[in-house]
Homo-oligomer: A and B are copies of this chain.
């Protein structure tokens, strides 16, 4: 997975500390306001540096955004790596881990999580199409391996469309992430669960329900 480089060489020469401040500020502002509404001034200010410096690191707002986007993908890949379901784990437990990690990740990195939403929901940034093509996130192959393994172990139904199954699992994970990241999807989940705005999310209930549906479906098995 080759990542493009969107910063100028100057950026690599700055202190790690400064780099991090810049990334942090950019992620924070972009994710809160979106690409268009975010202002370079804001980002510089939040990072505690001058606009001139920012432009000596990145040659345009666009490039800064793309650099941040790359970071978002990088974190995602890290998660897949960390997930790494073992062969001997049951499919069910792998799913449970996946959803638990998804919840954990979206809470640990709310800004990056929001950024992912921004990236995947076009029209907020003018290069979404370009970016979407460059994204070739490792989840797909992780799912593929997991499913093949499960089939070999006889855990899966024999009539399963494996490719669609991967897509289906991913959907569930993505929507779970959205429900932590976007106010709208969070409200929606609360409404479905009949929760008020200040009640805590019943993580266990959510995860186990998801796992159940994915593994067993909603209806009785056809006889």
Contact = CB atoms under 8 A, between A and B. Distances in A.
A155 B222 CA distance: 10
A155 B163 CA distance: 27
Interface of A: 31-37, 91-92, 114, 117-124, 126, 128-129, 131-133, 135-136, 140, 150, 155-157, 159-161, 163-168, 170-172, 174-175, 178, 182-185, 187-189, 191-194, 205-206, 209-210, 212-222
Given A157-B216, A206-B164, A187 B117 contact: no
Given A168-B210, A175-B174, A217-B214, A182 B121 contact: yes
Given A132-B184, A161-B209, 9 more contacts: A114-B123, A117-B122, A122-B182, A164-B210, A168-B213, A170-B188, A171-B175, A216-B217, A220-B221
| Integer count of this chain's copies in the complex | 4
Contact of A221 (B126, B161, B174, B221): B221
Given A175-B175, A184-B135, A161 B214 contact: no
6 contacts: A114-B123, A120-B184, A122-B182, A132-B182, A157-B216, A214-B218
